[in-house]
A and B are shown apart, each in its own frame.
Chain A
Amino acid sequence: MKTSPYRSLEFILGAGLTGAMVLAVLLSDVLFADGADAMDLAMRLTLPFQTLSHPLGTDPLGRDVLARVVSGGRISLTVGVLSVASAAAVGTLAGLVAGYYRGVWDAILMRWADVQLALPFILIAITFAAILGTDMWKLIAFMAIAQWVQYARVVRAAVIVLCEREFIAAAHAVGVRNLAILWRHLLPNAAAPVLVLMTLNVANNILLESSLTFLGLGIDPLIPSWGGMLADGRTYLQTAWWVSVFPGLAIMLTVLGLNLLGDWLRDRSDPTTRSPT
């Protein structure tokens, strides 16, 4: 199939932004040997783009903004990826089984999905985080619990359609075992919508994590994270604007990269939304 240059631009931008962020986070220990908490008191409140040693400037404690932004990315990406991976694993398994075997469990699962999808999760997240306190693992668990039904629904719908197709009937006819049908035939064919949902949800969860952390309901403020840096930077917005600009920019660019990738993936797997060129 012919792909338009605009499509590939979407992919290049998306993959480039996401890839750059992941690479920077992975290499953060090499790039910033001093660590994100090292204080250079002589260089306090350095403006960005002035010196090579602190390209994005320093905060009022003399800590390097770039090093902290990259280090904060580690938290955000970990939360985003792990929460989505666990939600997708549980949801996909439930959706496969429910769509293939149907019956009572399928009915219960779908009713529960209705309830969960109707719950105002942002409010519940704020309440729970505020009351029970949070750390990275609780955040990940909470997001996974909140989102697994999305995957279950998508996979179940795909499996029900696939089970009507000839190749599944043929597999049954030649005596392929149920487990093999689920794993080898249904799972790969239901993977595309799951991948799209995963990409977009990593973006969403990065936003959610940074919001909660910004509100003081997420990651420990002593650990550098994007939301935490923004909460911190707000108190000296008057004197050091750059401390509040760059972490937000990092969130935006990462989320934008993932959204571009997700859009691109969706268009590839579902040609009906594709715009002609």
Chain B
Amino acid sequence: MGAFLLRRLALAVFVVFVVTLLVAWAIRLSGDPAMMLADGAGSITEQDLRNIRAALGLDRPFTAQYLGFIGGMLRGDMGHSFMGGTPVARMVAQALPLTLLLAFLSLGVSLLASIPLGVQAAVHRGGWADQTIRIISLIGLSFPNFWLAIMMVLVFSIALGWLPPSGAGSLSALVMPVLTMATILTATNVRLVRTAMLETLSAQYITVARSKGLAETVVLYRHALRNCAIPLITYIGLQFGGLIGGVVVVERVFNWPGMGSLAFDAVAARDYPVLQAVVTVLAAMIVAVNLLVDIVYGLVDPRVRTE
């Protein structure tokens, strides 16, 4: 188990390292932030640009900049935004909870829908309920999340006028982003629940539970679903990256001020420290969740440890 843990941890650290390096490298191939800052400031000399770059630390070699960034991240110091000098850590601290709120609320809503649907599909395998759920799930899988978001705005904001089309000021502003994400997630999760349940339902202890005369709901939700928990948590955990990726896109449509919006604004302004921090924090979170899932799975199922 020790060796397995160590190997997983090493992989996780290495992945985060690759991500930071990729982003740091790509970012410096792009436009010059000194030019962006100087833009609109009237006459600019080459000396002015040099001064700006020196003030931002952009005159140092790439390795020095990169190591400085990593060192800062490890100390919890994400540097300052190029635009206005706000500490990046404060911007992330404001945006991250909003993104996580959206992500976990969507996941929760999606589970509330997909567990009963998936269980029904598995129980009536091959029947009309199974077929209908399967087709609806396939349609859901084919929806571009941003288009679903636009269609929701069209129906609930423009046609019916029930919900605000964007922003994060009120509880009602949360409804459409969460519904969009939850719909897309449910399409996948229903299939996961169905597959996991099908495997469990064929087990002998289910036959025993049924032959004892237990109520079907007790058999399904007490006995079967509990035993599906581990594979389900694993699948859902491994989807965390996709979930965050989806939230980032949906945030953009609804102007939800989370990490996605922060990243897009940073991209437009060539605000390196902010973009770097956002991507690093999100990537580290995704890798951490994957690591956690791996470890839990390794604890439960010893076969995973020996590859």
> Which residues on A are within 8 Å of B, measured CB to CB?
6, 114-115, 118-124, 126-128, 130-132, 203, 207, 210-211, 214-215, 230, 233-234, 237-238, 241, 244-245, 248, 251-253, 255-256, 259-260, 263, 273, 275-277
In the assembled complex, the Cα of A238 lies from the Cα of B158 at a distance in Å of 7
Residue on A nearest B11 in the bound complex, by CB: A114
Measured between C-beta atoms, what is the minimum distance from A171 to chain B in Å?
Answer: 29
Taking a contact as CB atoms under 8 Å apart, the answer to whether A126 and B147 are in contact is no
When chains A and B are docked, how far (Å) is the Cα of A132 from the Cα of B126?
49
Q: Are A127 and B279 in contact (CB under 8 A)?
A: yes
B2-21 contact mask (Cβ, 8 Å, vs A): 1 or 0: 00000000011011001100
Question: Beyond A130-B267, A131-B27, is A210–B144 a contact (Cβ under 8 Å)?
Answer: yes
Docked complex Cα distance between A121 and B264 (Å):
16
Q: What distance in Å separates the Cβ of A207 from its nearest Cβ neighbour in chain B?
A: 6
Chain B residue with Cβ nearest A204: B141
Q: What is the CA–CA distance of A80 and B263 in the complex, to the nearest angstrom?
A: 26
Minimum distance in angstroms from A183 CB to a CB of chain B: 29
User: Mostly helix, strand, loop or mixed at chain A's interface?
Assistant: helix
Min CB distance B241 to A, Å, is: 5
Size category of the B interface is 35 or more
Taking the closest CB of chain B, its distance from the CB of A225, in whole angstroms, is 13
* Nearest B-chain residue to A210, judged by Cβ: B144
Contacting residues, chain A, for B283 (C-beta < 8 A) = 119-120, 123
Whether A252 and B147, one on each chain, are in contact in the complex, defined by CB atoms closer than 8 angstroms, is yes
Please report the C-alpha to C-alpha distance between residue A6 and residue B145 in the assembled complex, in whole angstroms.
Answer: 28
B142 at interface (Cβ–Cβ under 8 A)?
Answer: yes
Among A126, A256, A277, which residue has its beta carbon within 8 angstroms of that of B126? A277
User: Could you say which residues of chain B place their CB within 8 Å of the CB of A114?
Assistant: 11
Neighbour of A123 across the interface among B146, B248, B253, CB < 8 A: B248
- Distance, CA A255 to CA B147, complexed state (A): 13
Give the A-B pair count, Cβ closer than 8 A. 131
B147 closest partner in A (C-beta): A248
**Known: A122-B242, A127-B279. Contact between A214 and B18, CB under 8 A?**
no
Interface contact B19-A244, CB-CB below 8 Å: no
Tell me whether A244 and B154 are in contact in the complex, defined as CB-CB below 8 angstroms, given that A207-B144, A276-B126 are known contacts: yes
State how many angstroms separate the Cβ of A17 from the closest Cβ of chain B: 10
| Cα A234 to Cα B253 with chains together (Å) | 9
Task: State whether the Cβ of B286 lies closer than 8 Å to any Cβ in chain A.
Answer: yes
Cβ–Cβ < 8 Å partners of A122 in chain B: 241-242, 244-246, 248-249
Contacting residues, chain B, for A260 (C-beta < 8 A): 138
Q: Is B207 an interface residue (CB 8 A)?
A: no
Task: Indicate whether A126 sits within 8 Å of B263 (C-beta atoms), given known contacts A120-B244, A211-B145, A275-B130.
Answer: yes
Q: Which of B147-193 contact A (CB under 8 A)?
A: 147, 150-151, 153-154, 158
Chain A nearest CB: distance from B177 CB in Å? 15
* Residue of B whose beta carbon sits closest to that of A277: B126
Q: What are the residues of chain A within 8 A of B241 when measuring CB–CB?
A: 120-122
Smallest CB gap from B194: residue in A? A275
Least Cβ–Cβ distance between B234 and chain A, in angstroms = 15
Assess the B249–A248 pair: CB atoms within 8 A: no
* Residues of B close to A256: CB separation below 8 A: 138-139, 142
Q: How far is the CA of A77 from the CA of B241 in the complex (A)?
A: 26
Measured between C-beta atoms, what is the minimum distance from A270 to chain B in Å?
13
CA–CA, A211 and B143, complex, Å: 11
In the bound assembly, the distance between CA atoms of A68 and B146 in angstroms comes to 19
